[in-house]
Amino acid sequence: MYAAVVHTIGEAPRYAEFEEPTAGDGEVLIDVRASALTNLTRMVTRDPDYSEGRTPPFVAGVEGVGTLPDGRRVVFGARRAPFGSLAQRSVSPGILLFDVPDEVDDITAAALVNPALSSWLPLASHVHLEQGESVLVLGATGVAGQLAVQVAKALGASRVVAAGRNEDVLKELLNRGADAIVPIGGSDEEVAAAYAEAIGGGFNVVLDYLWGHPAEQFLGALPRELVVKSGVRYVQIGNSAGRLASLDGNALRRTGVNIISSGSLPDLDEVKAIWGRIMSESAAGNLKIDVVTAPITEIDQHWDKDVPGKRTVITI
Ligand SMILES: NC(=O)c1ccc[n+]([C@@H]2O[C@H](COP(=O)([O-])OP(=O)(O)OC[C@H]3O[C@@H](n4cnc5c(N)ncnc54)[C@H](OP(=O)(O)O)[C@@H]3O)[C@@H](O)[C@H]2O)c1
């Protein structure tokens, strides 16, 4: 078969021949249709924290959409190296299959799985967002952040504030459910003023896709009188602005911020139930995601070339 094969750690995979996978115990064979290029997909090929000991040559891709031998269309997780999802065929644990309804096409389902779960899982199972609470999405202009704005609304947030650097995407988010926007591309003083203008009654929940200096700016900008009484549930999801942030102890206590890692997963039945809700919201037109597609034969050209705010989905 043909696949996107990683020959050298840190270099883009190339379209090349690779051995056919066969399903082992508890696994199913997948005829792959589409797989998205996410940050996780790339990190698995170059970051020892994520590569779980993979050694080249191996097939890139951690999840995708495909069909089972009986024709069922599913999102699957590719977990057994050297096989990955960016290939004509892959293998998945049978328990890691999530149904895709007829109303949602392969490309949309492949694009949604990573970014939509990144906000829905923590909002539903880590911080238990309640109807009427307010949410700040820090890093709302990325693909996952744009979805987080829409997911927070779908889960009943009364007010969703979108903070990010790309002002065109920020403005577009006002059409996708954001109640206010905070541009964070300026100086610390400008960013603090933008937060002060948008903060309203404070935030119950923060979904942070950036970390780094934007996290420091947020903590520095949050004034005591606007912190909600129950404290802020601050979910750390991504590091797009940097792996490290200095946390001011005084600011943490003043703001009542409780930092929560998004790293732990609820049990699989809960994840599947959430995926079902994501598919329903997508079918109803309530979760918009901008996608560009490219064929797997061109994987090396598209591997490191994201279009800002859009997800690249590789078709097989
Ligand atoms: N834990 C999980 O389950 C999970 C799932 C999905 C994503 N993530 C993580 O979440 C992060 C975002 O993912 P994504 O899919 O949304 O990525 P993405 O589409 O590539 O977006 C990244 C965003 O980060 C912004 N950014 C980068 N540096 C910045 C800075 N210094 N200040 C302000 N904004 C900055 C970019 O803004 P510009 O457009 O202005 O460059 C872009 O909007 C990544 O770290 C990813 O690994 C985690």
Going by pLDDT thresholds of 50, 70 and 90, the confidence category of residue 19 is: very high
Atom of ligand 1 nearest to the CA of 141: 43
The pLDDT score that the predictor gives to residue 224 is: 64
* Ligand 1 pocket: which of 137, 138, 240 to mutate (most atoms within 8 A of CB): 240
The fold of 114-261 is Rossmann fold (3.40.50)
> In whole angstroms, how far apart are CA 101 and each of 9, 85, 137, 312?
36, 20, 29, 21
**CA–centroid distance, residue 185 to ligand 1 (Å):** 14
Closest ligand 1 atom number to CA of residue 263: 1
The domain over range 2-99+289-315 is classified in CATH as 3.20.20.30: no
80/29 Cα distance (integer angstroms): 12
Higher pLDDT, 221 or 100: 100
* % residues pLDDT > 90 (the chain): 85
- For the chain, the structural domain boundaries read 2-99+289-315, 114-261
What's the CA gap between 71 and 118, in Å, rounded? 28
Residue in the block written with tokens 């094969």:
5
pLDDT at residue 226 tops 80: no
Is the CB of 146 inside a 6 Å radius of any atom of ligand 1? no
Q: Is the pLDDT of residue 239 over 80?
A: yes
Q: 3-state DSSP call for residue 91?
A: strand
Question: Does residue 225 surpass a pLDDT of 60?
Answer: no
Q: What is the pLDDT of residues 116-157, one digit of tens each?
A: 999 999 999 999 999 999 999 999 999 999 999 999 999 999
Residue 230 pLDDT grade (very low, low, confident, very high; cuts 50, 70, 90): low
